Structure 1
Amino acid sequence: MGLRYRAVIFDLDGVLWDGEPLYHEAFNIVLEPLGHRVSDEDYVNVIGHGVEEAWEWMRERFQLKDAPRRFLQSYDTAVLRLLARPLQPLPGVAPLIEELKRRGVALGVASSSLRQWVDATLRGLGLDSTFGAVVSASEVQHSKPAPDVYLLTAHRLGVNPTACLALEDTATGIAAAKAAGMFALQVRAASTALPPLPNADLVIQDYSQFDLSLLDGAVSGR
């Protein structure tokens, strides 16, 4: 009998690697010269959102006079400079990917980040030739929590969305995956992990808890 889930689609930041601290640092690189500092409590409000939404939140939080688009170029420069540093996947990611590939499971990435950040991150992680489809917020009309990025990833993999298992770390990501008709699994392995999300079909603390029988549909959601 074939697998219940024939594709696994990963979010990027907070799922494949502990990326949120880097984006947090980039916000401060841009804002500290203006006399502002983004605290941990501030930053949690933008995790999982697209870059323009995040900068709109920053504009309101710090009463910035300029429109969010005024900061996008300097933020992009800061992010890409930071992404040039050595990057490491979260523990357990590499062996899980190898096992999924061995079982013939299609692999994809569906990210709210910009395409240039996604590509730079996957190169830095040594995963740039790993996935059959990589889709970013740059390629869809509506970012998460809309399902667009997941639907396009499934389409490019040639797999029905209902036969896809999505790995996410944020409420917007879980909502996007479920809106696409996918089984949505919350991974809490990153340093910025959110509390267990009530709309996730299943929650794991790290990749040691990923049960491969999920692929057969043998593990039910909560």
Structure 2
Amino acid sequence: MTSTVPAPMTSTAEGSTLQAVFLDMDGTLVDTEGLWWEAERDVFAALGHQLDESWRDVVVGGPMTRSAGFLIESTGADITLPELTVALNDSFEARITRGVPMMPGAAALLAELRAHAVPTALVSASHRRIIDRILESVGPHASFDLTVAGDEIARTKPHPDPYLHAAGSLGADPARCAVVEDTATGVASAEAAGCRVVAVPSVAPIAPAQGRVVVGSLEEVNLAFLRTLFTGMH
């Protein structure tokens, strides 16, 4: 795993109870959910199958094995899960070589967190090869203390393992970590880990809930906003 882990901490600057901030990648950090759907449509078109637009909500935000398995079962395509996983990653990677746009507000939020020495992690269900390529494309605007890939964790989203791993690696209490996610699968993972969640829905709507705030864009999120999630905690 390529990461730089700072020393464990008990709190961030100014005595806040916020200890770390974790961001999802596709649809949260970068505007790539549409590119994944294009990649899936093209791969299955080459196999002689057309994807139903309604399936997009099913495959978004989840682990590659779940999405690929669903599409094989739904279409009856003659391809194995390992073969499809490689084909989808290849198709998606070809698209991101042309550049990947960051989501509005993402660069500003990361810059503010760096300026205040708030530890950050990128936590994605995408594979390491895709994460590294996207971060290379985005450049220094997306700098994290830790990155967690879906193929490096035994159980990825919607299980809590990725966020528990991120918190543990940064020496943070999951209950003192804020997570920014764009899908129900990611939200479920973060909440199962005990984190506070800011949902920025990208493809399908997400309802507000206890310990969860829903916003329209990352442009509404800054350090002061994230600290309010922990107001009243002891």
Q: TM-score, normalised by structure 2?
A: 0.86
**1:141 pairs with 2:154:** yes
Cα deviation for residue 196 of structure 1 reads 2.7
Task: Note the 1:41-80 alignment, pairs <5 A.
Answer: 41-80=54-93
Structure 1 residues 58, 12: CA separation in 2 closer, same or farther (over 3 Å shift)? same
Cα deviation for residue 113 of structure 1 reads 0.6
Of 156, 159, 174, which aligns to 2:169?
156
Mapped to 2, the partners of 1:210 and 1:66 lie a distance apart of 42
Of 19, 41, 59, which aligns to 2:32?
19
Indicate the residue corresponding to 2:225 in structure 1.
214
Of 89, 98, 105, which aligns to 1:85?
98
| Residue ranges of structure 2 left out of the alignment (5+ in a row) | 1-13
Amino acid at match of 1:197: A
3-state DSSP of counterpart to 1:45: helix
Of 129, 133, 140, which aligns to 1:116?
129
Mapped to 2, the partners of 1:27 and 1:218 lie a distance apart of 36
Amino acid at match of 2:146: A
Q: Is the contact between residue 109 and residue 223 of structure 2 (CA under 8 Å) also seen in structure 1?
A: no
Cα deviation for residue 17 of structure 1 reads 1.2
3-state DSSP of counterpart to 2:58: coil
CA RMSD of aligned residues (A): 1.9
Mapped to 1, the partners of 2:171 and 2:230 lie a distance apart of 24
* 1:6-49 alpha-carbon deviations (Å, 9 max, x no partner): 21100000100111111111112211122212243222211111
* 1:181-206 alpha-carbon deviations (Å, 9 max, x no partner): 11011013x4x2x2133446100101
Mapped to 2, the partners of 1:95 and 1:19 lie a distance apart of 19
**1:202 pairs with 2:190:** no
Of 15, 21, 37, which aligns to 1:8?
21
Cα deviation for residue 214 of structure 1 reads 3.4
Task: Work out the percentage of aligned pairs sharing the same amino acid.
Answer: 29
3-state DSSP of counterpart to 1:31: helix
Indicate the residue corresponding to 2:48 in structure 1.
35
Indicate the residue corresponding to 2:9 in structure 1.
none
Q: Is the contact between residue 6 and residue 215 of structure 1 (CA under 8 Å) also seen in structure 2?
A: no
Cα deviation for residue 218 of structure 1 reads 5.8
Cα deviation for residue 99 of structure 1 reads 1.1
Indicate the residue corresponding to 1:96 in structure 2.
109
Mapped to 1, the partners of 2:141 and 2:82 lie a distance apart of 29
Cα deviation for residue 211 of structure 1 reads 4.8
Task: Note the 1:124-139 alignment, pairs <5 A.
Answer: 124-127=137-140, 130-139=143-152
Q: Is the contact between residue 8 and residue 166 of structure 1 (CA under 8 Å) also seen in structure 2?
A: yes
3-state DSSP of counterpart to 1:44: helix
Amino acid at match of 2:188: A
Of 173, 188, 196, which aligns to 1:183?
196
3-state DSSP of counterpart to 1:9: strand
Structure 1 residues 35, 94: CA separation in 2 closer, same or farther (over 3 Å shift)? same
User: Across the two proteins, how many residue pairs are aligned to each other?
Assistant: 217
| Residue ranges of structure 1 left out of the alignment (5+ in a row) | none
